[in-house]
Amino acid sequence: KLSKRLEEVAKSIPKGAMLADIGSDHAYLPCYAYLQGYIKGAIAGEITEGPFQSAVKQVEKTNLTDVIEVRKGDGLSVIKPGEVDCITIAGMGGTLIQTILEDGKEKLQGVTRLVLQPNIGAHHIRQWLIEHKWSLIDEKIMEDDGRIYEILVAEQGEPLESYDEKVEAGILVGPILAKEKNDAFKKKWNHELAHTKKIVEQMEKSATTKEGQEKKKKLENEIRIIEEVLS
Ligand code: SAM
């Protein structure tokens, strides 16, 4: 059975899409998406030999070798321009996902939708999306198996109006998530708030250098944003 997290990622893939799932590991997501009738085919990309072999085996086991191709390589290098219309990247840190998008920029031209699921550091991705004219059309935050996950869904185009209003807060917590403020969102940001406050408290004594002071200021600003968002 597919995790709730990947099930939610799958739901955001446009119907009938040709998909590239990057960092696919067991290729569970593309196999599931195909069997559910969400996609017409997929490329599963993997950089590491072990997970690449797992993906190959899973696709064979599910008899999907004619519709899901497993390719070995770094990030978007495994796809040709125009080959897919949706890309999923799930289960990695936000900085790694951002790097994969940045390094593979030229492959994104014909891609209509990105579905990204960072485990941490979603703000790195939101920043990248804004800078490269991708607009967030949906965001999800959920708890699965005791961990909190975020999913960012983006399409090419200018950012939504709501994304512009409070850009700084929006990038940090997610403009769409901040409107909904569900339980997972509150849990995450209450936790982040307590954690950040603790760090700043410790810095009161130790941050004597200019750099330290600047870092502290940045965190204090983050605290202000989170408090405002949660209020
Ligand atoms: N996407 C699956 C999920 O969400 O359950 C697997 C996540 S797994 C934690 C991350 C996978 O990404 C690993 O199998 C790793 O080898 C792969 N990976 C990391 N960096 C990559 C890159 N630059 N290009 C392709 N795959 C990469």
Q: What is the domain partition of the chain in residue ranges?
A: 4-160, 185-230
Instruction: Say yes or no to pLDDT of 212 above 80.
Output: yes
Lowest mean pLDDT across 17-26, 87-96, 215-224: 215-224
User: How far is it, in rounded angstroms, from Cα 135 to Cα 223?
Assistant: 26
Ligand 1 atom with the smallest distance to the CA of 48 is 16
Per residue in 77-112, pLDDT tens? 999 999 999 999 999 999 999 999 999 999 999 999
- Asked whether the beta carbons of 158 and 164 are under 8 A apart, the reply is no
Reported confidence tier of residue 54, pLDDT bands at 50, 70, 90: very high
- Distance of CA 124 from the midpoint of ligand 1 (Å): 17
Per residue in 62-77, pLDDT tens? 999 999 999 999 999 9
Q: Give CA angle at 148 (188, 55), nearest 5°.
A: 155
Runs of H (alpha helix) within the chain: 4-11, 28-35, 49-61, 94-103, 122-131, 161-165, 167-173, 175-180, 183-206, 210-230
Residue nearest to atom 9 of ligand 1 (CA): 91
Q: Give the pLDDT of residue 205.
A: 81
- From 92, 100, 145, the mutation candidate for ligand 1 (largest count of ligand atoms within 8 A of CB) is 92
Q: Give the pLDDT of residue 183.
A: 97
4-160: which CATH architecture? 3-Layer(aba) Sandwich (3.40)
Instruction: Say yes or no to pLDDT of 162 above 70.
Output: no
Ligand 1 atom with the smallest distance to the CA of 3 is 5
- Distance of CA 89 from the midpoint of ligand 1 (Å): 8
Lowest mean pLDDT across 113-127, 173-187, 199-213: 199-213
Dihedral angle of Cα 46, 61, 69, 29, to the nearest 10 degrees: -60
Q: Look at residue 114 and give its three-state secondary structure.
A: strand
Instruction: Say yes or no to pLDDT of 166 above 70.
Output: no
Instruction: Say yes or no to pLDDT of 119 above 80.
Output: yes
User: How far is it, in rounded angstroms, from Cα 194 to Cα 190?
Assistant: 6
Residues with a CB atom less than 6 Å from ligand 1: 6, 22-25, 45-48, 51, 74-75, 90-92, 96, 100
Ligand 1 atom with the smallest distance to the CA of 5 is 4
